[in-house]
Structures are given as C-alpha cells and as structure tokens.
Structure 1
Amino acid sequence: MLLPNQLTVLRIILTPVFFFLFLSGEPLLIQISALVYIIAAITDWYDGWLARKFNYITEWGKFLDPLADKILTSAAFLALVLVGILELWMVSLIIFRDILITGLRIWADYKRVSFSTSKTAKWKTFFQMAFQYYLLLIYTLKSFDSLNREYTRLFEILFDKDFIYYTMLAITIFTVYTGITYFISNWSLIKKIIGYKN
C-alpha cells in the first residue's frame, strides 16, 4: 500500500481514538484528543500533497481519501453535539449532505465520470472546518483549569450560545444550498452514473 493510502487509513484509525478521548470528560484526555485531531488533519493535507507530487493516485485512494475526510469531520461534529455545543438536527443535515455527495463522487470516479466542484462547495468546506476548529480549540483550552478560572468571562463570550447557534445555522443552510446546487449542476451526469433513462 502506498504511503498516501497508509496515511488515509491512519486517519480513519485515529478518528475513534479522538472521539473516545474527546468525550471522556477528563481534561487531560480532552487535551490529548485535540492533538490526535491535529495529527489526523495533517495526514489529510500530507497524503494529498504526496499523491499530487509523486503521482501516487490510485483507485483505492480516490475511494478512501474523501471517505476518511467525512468520517473525521462527521465524528468531530457529532462529538460537539454530544457535549452540548451543537444542535443534532443541524449536524445531521450536514453529515447527510456531505456523505451523499461524497458517495456520488466516489461512484462517479468508479464510473470514470468527472463531477465539477463549485467554488461555493469549496467555501462550504472552508466554513465548516474553520468553525469546527474554532469550537474544538476553545473547548480544549477551556479544559485547562487554570485558563478556565482566569478567563471565565472570555470563555463565556467565545462560547456564547446565540453566536454558536446562528453561526452553525448559517453554515447548515449554506451546506444544504450547495448540496442542492450540486445536484442541479451535475444532474445529467448523475442520471448517467445511476443508469437512469427517460
């Protein structure tokens, strides 16, 4: 197995480790979970860089890499739901949209069909990841007792419920919108890969 694919598999393995540590309720384990998440995120960047630089592009990698990305980000969003930061219905919509589109892209690659990725979809990913990093970072910093005591008011501001709710709501709406436009712009190709006939 090529190194990029090994890194992708490592990312999948690290996901449940992060999930378990993050939900442990133990400050030290929560802090370790942030490190695990960072390592997993770095493998995402590094395996892509290796694949492009040395042309380590395989059918297995095309299938596994986007799947590993969604597994990691979905696990992180679900973890944030379980600690009471995010709303389940919003995260469910995001996960459903992303897994559906990822599944279509994987199937399209298998069928040798290329889907276009819009700039809005790339912005969707950026906003999702930026907000996820923000929440994980603040939650991890808050787990340090000394920081939590000294900066209690600051953490209250950074974790303002209305700010989190409406920011996540905007991201959810934007994510659903990009999913709808993705289907519209690629509908003829989608019909082709699923074998639909008029």
Structure 2
Amino acid sequence: MARNPLLLIPNQITIARIVAIIPIVALVMSGDPALRLIALVLYVLAAVSDWLDGYLARAWDQYSPLGRMLDPIADKLLVGILIAALAWDGSFSALDMIPACAILFREFFIPGLREFLGNTQIVLPVSKLAKWKTTVQLVALGVVLLEPIAPELGLVSDILLWLAGALTLWTGWQYLAASWPHLSGDQS
C-alpha cells in the first residue's frame, strides 16, 4: 500500500516551513523590536527544519517526489520572501541590495534552467557547495533579522550577506557552465 506523501513527517515539516513564512514576514513588517525577536525565533526554527526534514527522510526512508519538489521550493520561498520583507522595512542598505538581488536572481534563474533542461532529460544535481550556499543564506538573513536588536552585528551581517551573495553567484555560474553544452547545442 502506497504511503500518502502528505502524511510523511519530513513533508509535514517542509509544509510547516512554508506556512511559517507568513507569520515571520508579518512580525518583521510590524516594526516592533519584540515582535522581530519572535520572528527571528520562528525563522531559526524554519531554517533548522530544512536540515531536519532531510535528515528524517533519510533516517526513516520517507522519500517522496512531493518532498523532493517541496524542499527546494520551501527554501527559496523562505529566502526570497524574507529578502523582500527586509528590503521593504529598510533592513538592507543600498549596497546590501546588491547581494540580495544576486541571491534572488540566482534563486529564480537556476530552477528555471533546471525546468528547461528537465524537458530534455538533463539533470543538474545539487552540489555540496549549493547546500552550503543555502546554509550561508539562511544564517546571513538570520543575522540581518537580529541586527536592529543587536546593532553591533552590522559588520557581521554585511560580511555574511556578501558571502551568501558570492556563493550564490558562484553556484549559479557552476550550474550555468554545466548546462551550457545543452543550451548552446554544442554537446560534442
């Protein structure tokens, strides 16, 4: 008997990460430092759940096509929507918008590239560096969330955001380079 993928614990954790975006963003946009701290706690739980759902899926052999589809979407939604909220509330300086936009660009472009290549039966596997990229993005955004409460983290926040932007561009370049022969028609 096939298992209902919606009832698998790893998938429920992934879905909870997606749902958590709504209160996180609402709390950030409230402008209240106490509510921002609650948003940070929810965000950290959501970010940790990215590791937890994968760990449980492997440990309990609860893989599913739904989980494989939802997990990267949950990550991109969490990062992308939080970047939009942080830009809206002024948490990013004009210079911070450079890595923020680089992150958004790559997070939209590479899935589109994967979709295009999927139609040609070409698969771009997720690299270890891409997994680290996601981790650095999540940590960087957590520190940006914390910065108004702990202004002394300003430099750390900037460094992490730029590192996340650089890793994001580098991994995007790696995927583009790997797919180039299939895009250019030069597969010799």
TM range (shorter): 0.7 to 0.9
1:179 match: 172
1:125 match: 134
2:153 match: 158
Cα distance change of structure 1 residues 73 and 17 upon mapping to structure 2, 3 Å threshold? same
1:95 match: 104
- Secondary structure at the residue paired with 1:186? helix
Alpha carbons 2:56, 2:62 under 8 Å: kept: yes
1:71 match: 77
For residues 110 and 185 of structure 1, the distance between their equivalents in structure 2, rounded to whole angstroms, comes to: 16
Deviation at 1:6, TM superposition (A): 1.5
For residues 185 and 35 of structure 2, the distance between their equivalents in structure 1, rounded to whole angstroms, comes to: 53
Alpha carbons 1:67, 1:102 under 8 Å: kept: no
Higher deviation after alignment, 123-132 or 36-45: 123-132
Q: Which runs of 5+ in 2 are unaligned?
A: 1-5
Alpha carbons 2:37, 2:146 under 8 Å: kept: no
1:31 paired to 2:23: no
The letter of the residue matching 2:56 is L
Deviation at 1:169, TM superposition (A): 4.1
Cα distance change of structure 1 residues 167 and 43 upon mapping to structure 2, 3 Å threshold? closer
Q: TM-score, normalised by structure 2?
A: 0.76
Deviation at 1:104, TM superposition (A): 4.0
Q: Deviations over 1:87-123 (max 9, x none)?
A: 3343222112022223444676787654233444344
Cα distance change of structure 1 residues 50 and 118 upon mapping to structure 2, 3 Å threshold? closer
- Secondary structure at the residue paired with 2:76? helix
Bigger radius of gyration among the two: 1
Alpha carbons 2:137, 2:164 under 8 Å: kept: yes
What number of residue pairs does the alignment pair up? 177
Higher deviation after alignment, 11-20 or 108-117: 108-117
The letter of the residue matching 1:187 is W
Cα distance change of structure 1 residues 26 and 81 upon mapping to structure 2, 3 Å threshold? same
Q: Which runs of 5+ in 1 are unaligned?
A: 143-154
CA RMSD, Structure 1 to Structure 2 (Å): 2.9
1:50 match: 56
1:8 aligned residue (14, 17, 20):
14
